[in-house]
């Protein structure tokens, strides 16, 4: 039951964000600062909930290797997206969010296997905060590129379904996998998330939220830390 509730909230944020981008007004300062809050929360969550536990289960070297592997894979594919896809139409952003979201949601499903409620809430809340403004921004770009409202919404619904399946797969298919293996999957996902923060989230947050984005990043980090401490 918990897995479906978390998926509904996290993946549903993509659809809500797309609706916001297509039909609502989206002040740049609000989008930028929401992204910064999400980035700060994700930055801490991936360290505390994914990388740090891996040190005890898989050791330092494997943790380092798989974290860097995730970062390299995301950065490489993100580079191809930027070079080959039409980012001005929002398609590149959709692809980047999907690429980022698959390991995130896979890790979220894994976290639900053995994590406590507050620790899962910290990771899920961070992903939710990231999905909402990113989907809104991508849908808005697609609308400005003359895509139909129906086509835009169908694309984002498809992305939400794909990410939901990733979370379910992480929770069901990996339930019997040893913790040492799960921790390496988490590290790969964490590396991808960290790379996405550096190349997608924080630059966009600063561009649209200006110097307030620095404060919002701190707020997101503190919120994630608070949830982690409550879970401890």
State the average pLDDT over residues 60-68.
Answer: 95
For residue 38, tell me if it sits in a domain.
Answer: no
- For the CA atoms of 174, 175, 176, 177, the dihedral, rounded to the nearest 10 degrees, stands at 40
- pTM, entire model: 0.79
For residue 120, tell me if it sits in a domain.
Answer: yes
For residue 141, tell me if it sits in a domain.
Answer: yes
| pLDDT of 197 over the 70 cut | yes
pLDDT tens-place string over residues 166-192:
888 877 877 777 888 888 888 988 898
For residue 100, tell me if it sits in a domain.
Answer: yes
Q: Tell me the DSSP string of 54-117.
A: HHHHH-HHHHHHHHHHHHHHHHHHHHHHHHHS-GGGTHHHHHHHHHHHHHHHHHHHHHHHH--H
CA distance 13 to 36: 17
For residue 25, tell me if it sits in a domain.
Answer: no
Which residues make Cβ contacts (< 8 Å) with residue 135, sequence separation at least 6? 13, 14, 15, 16, 17, 18, 20, 21, 97, 156, 159
210: DSSP letter? T
Q: In terms of residue numbers, what domain contains 164? A: 2-20+45-231
For residue 13, tell me if it sits in a domain.
Answer: yes
For residue 179, tell me if it sits in a domain.
Answer: yes
Residue showing tokens 């086509």: 151
Lowest average pLDDT, out of 27-31, 68-72, 120-124, 199-203, goes to: 120-124
Our count of domains for the chain comes to 1
- Taking phi first (over 0 means left), then psi (-120 to 50 degrees means alpha), and beta for anything else, what does residue 35 get? alpha
pLDDT tens-place string over residues 87-104:
555 565 666 677 767 777
Sequence length of the chain is 232
CA distance 188 to 74: 10
Q: If pLDDT is split at 50, 70 and 90, which confidence band does 84 have?
A: low
pLDDT tens-place string over residues 119-145:
677 677 777 777 777 788 778 777 876
Q: If pLDDT is split at 50, 70 and 90, which confidence band does 232 have?
A: low
Residue 146 phi/psi, 5° resolution? Answer: 75, 15
pLDDT tens-place string over residues 3-49:
777 778 888 888 888 898 888 876 888 878 888 888 888 888 889 87
CA distance 148 to 143: 7
In contact, 159 and 94? CB cutoff 8 Å: yes
For residue 39, tell me if it sits in a domain.
Answer: no
């Amino acid at each position: 039951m918990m897995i479906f509730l978390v998926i509904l909230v996290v993946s549903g944020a993509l659809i809500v964000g797309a609706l916001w981008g297509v039909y609502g007004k989206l002040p740049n300062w609000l989008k930028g600062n929401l992204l910064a809050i999400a980035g700060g929360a994700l930055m801490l969550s991936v360290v505390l909930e994914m990388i740090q536990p891996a040190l005890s289960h898989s050791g330092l070297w494997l943790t380092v290797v798989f974290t860097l592997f995730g970062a390299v894979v995301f950065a490489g594919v993100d580079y191809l997206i930027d070079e080959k896809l039409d980012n001005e139409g929002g398609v590149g952003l959709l692809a980047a969010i999907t690429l980022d979201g698959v390991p995130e949601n896979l890790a979220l499903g894994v976290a639900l296997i053995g994590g406590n409620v507050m620790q899962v809430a910290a990771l899920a809340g961070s992903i939710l905060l990231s999905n909402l403004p990113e989907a809104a921004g991508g849908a808005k770009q697609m609308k400005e590129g003359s895509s139909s409202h129906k086509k835009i919404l169908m694309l984002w619904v498809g992305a939400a379904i794909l990410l939901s399946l990733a979370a379910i797969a992480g929770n069901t298919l990996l339930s019997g996998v040893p913790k040492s293996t799960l921790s390496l999957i988490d590290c790969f996902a964490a590396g991808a998330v960290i790379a996405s923060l550096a190349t997608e989230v924080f630059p966009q947050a600063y561009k649209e939220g200006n110097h307030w984005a620095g404060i919002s990043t701190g707020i997101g980090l503190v919120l994630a830390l608070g949830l982690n401490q409550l879970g401890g």
